[in-house]
Each structure stands twice: as C-alpha cells, then as structure tokens.
Structure 1
C-alpha cells in the first residue's frame, strides 16, 4: 500500500494549497535547503523508518520532506489537535509521506493517529511533547523493538523523558533538542515571542499598547513574550516561582509579583511555564472584566479551563478561537484557542527563518542518534556542541554574515593556565 492509500487526512484535494504554503516556507529556510543538498546526495537514512509527531504545518512539512530526501520512509502525525493544517497534511500525503492527521480530531482520533504512526515500526522518532515516547513505554511496548532512539522538541517532552530516565525505564536514547543553547536563544525567545503575539493579535484584533500583560513564567519563552509585549507598548508584569529568574525579570525592567496580585491587573495573561494550574479559580475571581487568557505552553493544562467552565453561568464562541465565559457577577473573561498553544492553535507558529534553524538541529541530531545510538545508551543527552555551532554557522553564512576566528596565539593563551 502506498503512502497516499495508507494516510488518514481530511481532504486530498487541499494538497495544491498546502504545497504553495510549503514552497513559501522553503524559500525562507536556507539552512534546511543547504542540508537537503547534502543529504539527498548522501542518503544516510536509506532503509530507515522515521516516525514524527510535530505541529503539522508548513515548516514541519519541509523537515519531513528533508528526512524523506535523506532516504527514510517517513510517517507523520500532529502533536496538537488544533495545530494541524489540513492542506499541509494533504500535500505531504501526495508527496510520498504517510500522514495520520486532521485538524481538530476527537480525542479518540488524535490518539489513534499517534498509534498508527508508531505502528509503522519506526527505527527513529522525532517527538514534540513526549506523546510517542509515552505510548511506546506504557501502552505499546510491543512496538519498541526497532526503535534506536530519537529527538525531543520541547520542554514538556524533556521533563517526561527525564522522569523515565530517572527511574531507569527509558528504553532508548533521546536528544534534548529543546535544550540546545542556540534553540533557547532563537526559537524559544525570538520565535515564541513573535508567534505568540501573532496568534493573539490576529485572533483578538485588539490593541496591546497601553494594556497590562501578565507573563506567567520567565524562562526563555517567557522572556520572549515579555520582550515583545514591551515592544508593543504594554506594561508587563512577570510572575515566577524561581528567585533567580524573578531577579532577572526585575533587572530587565519588568514588574514582578505573585500571581494572586497580578491577576487583579492584567488585560492579557500568557502562560509559559509547562506546569498545570498556574492560572486557577482563585485568580479568575479577581480578574478585570474583559481579561484575555492565552497559553503558550505545550499542553492545555496551564489555565484551569475546567474551573472556569464550572464558575461560568454561560459560555459562547464570540469570534474564531475566542470563547467568552460569563461569570455570576457579570464579568466576562475570554479564553483563546481553548487554552491550547496559542501561537499554533490560533496562528501559523514560529517564523520560517526560526524553524529553519530548529529543524536543522532536529535533522542533524536524528543523524547523530542513527550513527551513535549504541554508544549513547538509554539516556537523555544534550545536543552535541558541534551540531549546535554548525547550525549557527550555516545561518550566518546564509545571511552573508562573517565573524572573527581566534588566532593560533589566542587559542594557546586561552588553553593555558599561565599568563
């Protein structure tokens, strides 16, 4: 059975529109294009099966086709029910990649798509949030036999992997791509910072300047969201549980206070923690009328939506991706994208130039696992520095930027303890 016949997508007739989106993204992904030239000639993944669970949109499609061009048989599914774009899924299916994904599937369909992707019996996996790894280790250990290892895209997935590793239950090596230093800088900070506000602004069509934005969590993603909110003219409040990060937020010029206090002031709330219940019923009780709630973490657990629904006397959709909750005292609170990842559920995700670098890390780390899985062992490893630096150098070269190099004398000086 060929990939088109095996695939589960909403409508293959959408493929031409998906291909247009992919062509646009590819034009702005010079690092992946450089890798494609090399890997399509060398075909280092020939004979390998690769299973991918990522946000299924145009930039992801470019990564999937790169891995296919490197010789692999690729099966792909989404990593969030609201981030799959049906035209992209269709375009990939007709291009020879097996796809199990639809926009807004039922929970049962979403789970089934993940399992069907794993039933292709992959040698390597790329995961986003840890769903593939979780299913392999809990429900379908019968599919573990061929898996050499893989890569994880996001903080939430790495937390799950570290938990498996700690209890010695992890069955294969995984590279923590999210923790690459370059990814912290460009993806988590600049990518999330821009794409979150892209999603919020296109969804609400409301001004940010002069408003108060509460950013929950000041990790790399929170830094980006806060920085862009400030640039849009907002007053920014940061809430944190980590004293060092809170100190950094203060030194960066933001107001820092507990969430119980910040809840009284925010016009916009953006969660970026990866933890559950960071905005809860206690906070809803004191929020201003018209407050807008958005989540920028992987799973829809950061805002306690169940508590908000229980408090509300009515709920209605007032605009695409905006739900209005009417509270007993007459206040209205607005939830974006069902509390799911706002930049992808209500937008197109990170800019192409950002994902160009992130997905180059993914591709090179996948090759690293393929070639070194026996040496790595059953553990979570950081991205090797040479891969991190290589991607950064490719980016600089693609943009015509040159940097200095150490002289031989400088290298000797830095390597010596003597003055």
Structure 2
C-alpha cells in the first residue's frame, strides 16, 4: 500500500482491501476506459493540471479517478450526493492510489458543503461536476479563482439545466463540456443504466414483487424511458406523468398510460421521480395515495419529492428497512420513502452497471483531455462533446464487445455527399 498521509476524509481506511477488489471487478466491465487509461499513462495529457471531481464515489468513478491520475492530473475527489458514497471505495482510492478523497456515506449537509469548499481550496483548473454544485459555489463565492479555470464537464441533466441558466445570466465565464448529451452517454447511461439500477434500488430496499404493481414514472426523458421500460419488463403496469406534450405523446405511443400526477396519485403502488425538477410529488398527492404507497427519486437532487410537506403530515416516522422509512400520516395511512428521497439507485443499491459507465466516464476522461488541449481556445459557454470523440467511444465499445459493423463503400459515400445523383 502507498503512504496515506495525504489529506482525506473517509469513513475507515481499513476498508481499502475490499474496495480494491470491487474496483477491479468493475474495471473488468470498463474496457474503453482501460484503453484510455493506458494511453494516458504514456502521454500524460493532464500533467500540471489541478482537477477536482464532484461525483458519486463508486467503483466506476474510482476507475475514472485512476485514469485521470495516470494522465498526470493533480486530482481531488468529493461526493456529489451524501448517500451515494461507497466507503470501501473511498478508502481504497486514498490508501492504494494516493488520491485525496473527501466523502462519507450519509454525510450531512454541513459536511457536504465543507467538502465542496475543500475542493475549491484545491484551486482547480478543471472541474468534473455532477449537478453543478462546485461550479455554482465557485461562481457565487470564489470569483477570485475564476482566472484559474480552464473549463468544466457536466454529466447530469440537472447540472446542464443549471449551467444554461448561468450562461443566460451572464455568469458562466469559462467553457463547459456537456457530457450528459453525448450520444454514448444519455442513450445508454440515462436509459439502460438508470432503468436497471433504479429498479435494483427499489427491490433491494423493499424486496417487493413488481409484477402486477402500478408504477408511476414522473418524467419521460431518457431516464424516465429507461425506468418505464424496465418496470414494464418486470410486469408492472406503468403510468407516465409529463409536462412536455411531445414526450407525453411518445410515452403513449410506446404503450404507456399518461395521466397528470393528480390522477395518477390515487392509482400508484410505486412512484419514481426522474424529472430534474422540484416538488413533483407534493402535499395534495400524498393525501390521495394508497395506504403503503412507495415513493422514491432517481433524479439528481432530493427535492423532487416534497418531504417537508410529507413530514408535516406525519404523526410518526420510523425506519422499517435499510434506507426505507415509513411516514405514518395523521389520517392513519402510511407513505414509504426510499433513500431519503435521494437517488434511489445509489442510496439503496450500487448505481449504474459498470458497462454503461464505461462509456460515460470515457466521455469524461476525453472531455478533460479536450479542455486541456484547447486551453484558451474555447469560448465561454456550453459545448458538446466533439462528434469524433463520441463516435470513437462507440467504436471502442463495439470492438471490446467483439461486434463488427459495415463501412460505406466509395459509391455510397459519393451518393450521400452529392445532390446531383438521383434515386
């Protein structure tokens, strides 16, 4: 083991051996990131770069952190969510890999805020953000550090919404790479990763049978599509709620029932919010829910469910299983909340499977390299992941899966690029 005198705040360094086993297990399913890490080790494209990552501290994130260190970055890692940290992973990154980590599963809001400020004390040049908390704090409270910033990357829908609002308000003074909207991220991570891991979290927390249950999915973006697809696959009767008419039509044509939340609330057995907004499930919805209705969130922040309103209605709150609380209402019925309304797939399970995070974190690694190589050349604002990087990640993933695809013939290339060729 390497020396552990680096600054850190983790639960228990003795957990490191277990964390190492689990990090290596996840790495088996992350061949694209492995290839990038090997190249980074030879080229060190992030040498001299101070980097802060605010991410879910999981086995998959650990593989990203190791790749960034191989690239030469002076990195520091904090948790982006108080309940998503895997304590053995955090310990291993400190003890085995010499990476400063400030993350403890279950940390309170005060500790989380302190860790954000510790991250900014690192005076980062590049920020990997997951929800935009570090960037927002930087802009609001650390204006003197803005000249240090080369850029940031963001891989959540919530974070991109915040960055766009910052840009509209004229306070985003550096480039931000929109990793979330890369094809090799949202098509797979948001849809297949969120779909599987959300149901995994619900099942681990409750051990209930999903078949025959009415499952209400709030939001039909890529995460909602994945959750609805998997819920139906487990035998659930799925209802979708939406505010976007186009997405609502899509849900209907995908075979789901679409209702306003007010009408869905009395029908649902399980409620999953994946909107990125606040108070999607509110006081009036709790009033009409079935006794024993289960509510959980797979959006980034814990405000999609109005838990303060629920607590105000409760005569008693008790823990009934790990990460599962029963709110006994004054009316006599109860509402079950999983994972304190935080990301259920990380609070009650292990997050997305490694195979999809392989592509997401390949995007993160290459986006950091892109920012470093283009220092001072990119305008302030939100930039897409370059198409050629996105396609290269897809190509590497197919290669790792042993799948071949066709290539265009010269005749086809000419046809696709000509306006004179007829049909």
SS of residue matched to 1:315: strand
Deviations 1:371-413 (A, max 9, x none): 1132211111111111111111110000000000111111111
Residue in structure 2 matched with residue 11 of structure 1 by the alignment: 12
SS of residue matched to 1:285: helix
Residue in structure 1 matched with residue 48 of structure 2 by the alignment: 47
1:88 correspondence with 2:89: yes
CA distance in 2, matches of 1:180, 1:3: 36
CA distance in 2, matches of 1:121, 1:208: 47
Deviations 1:313-371 (A, max 9, x none): 11111111111011122111100000001001111000000101100011011111111
Residue in structure 1 matched with residue 67 of structure 2 by the alignment: 66
| 1:212-231 mapped onto 2 (5 Å cutoff) | 212-231=214-233
Q: TM-score, normalised by structure 2?
A: 0.97
1:291 correspondence with 2:298: no
Q: Write out the 4+ residue segments of structure 1 that deviate beyond 6 Å after TM superposition.
A: none
CA distance in 1, matches of 2:102, 2:233: 39
- Once the 2 structures are TM-superposed, how far is the Cα of residue 182 of structure 1 from its aligned partner? 2.3
SS of residue matched to 1:376: coil
- Once the 2 structures are TM-superposed, how far is the Cα of residue 48 of structure 1 from its aligned partner? 1.1
- Once the 2 structures are TM-superposed, how far is the Cα of residue 102 of structure 1 from its aligned partner? 1.1
The answer to whether the 8 Å contact 2:6/2:98 transfers is no
TM-align CA RMSD: 1.0
SS of residue matched to 2:101: strand
Q: Specify every segment of 5 or more residues in structure 2 that has no aligned partner in the other structure, as ranges.
A: none
Residue in structure 1 matched with residue 283 of structure 2 by the alignment: 281
Residue in structure 2 matched with residue 152 of structure 1 by the alignment: 154
The answer to whether the 8 Å contact 1:3/1:97 transfers is no
**Cα separation, partners in 2 of 1:3 and 1:417, compared to 1, 3 Å:** farther
Residue in structure 1 matched with residue 335 of structure 2 by the alignment: 333
SS of residue matched to 2:376: helix
Residue in structure 2 matched with residue 33 of structure 1 by the alignment: 34
CA distance in 1, matches of 2:167, 2:331: 48
1:197 correspondence with 2:202: no
Q: Specify every segment of 5 or more residues in structure 1 that has no aligned partner in the other structure, as ranges.
A: none
- Once the 2 structures are TM-superposed, how far is the Cα of residue 3 of structure 1 from its aligned partner? 6.5
Deviations 1:54-100 (A, max 9, x none): 00011001000000001111100000000111111111112111111
The answer to whether the 8 Å contact 1:3/1:99 transfers is no
The answer to whether the 8 Å contact 2:272/2:297 transfers is yes
Q: TM-score, normalised by structure 1?
A: 0.98
CA distance in 2, matches of 1:4, 1:179: 39
Residue in structure 2 matched with residue 165 of structure 1 by the alignment: 167
1:102 to 89, 101, 104: 104
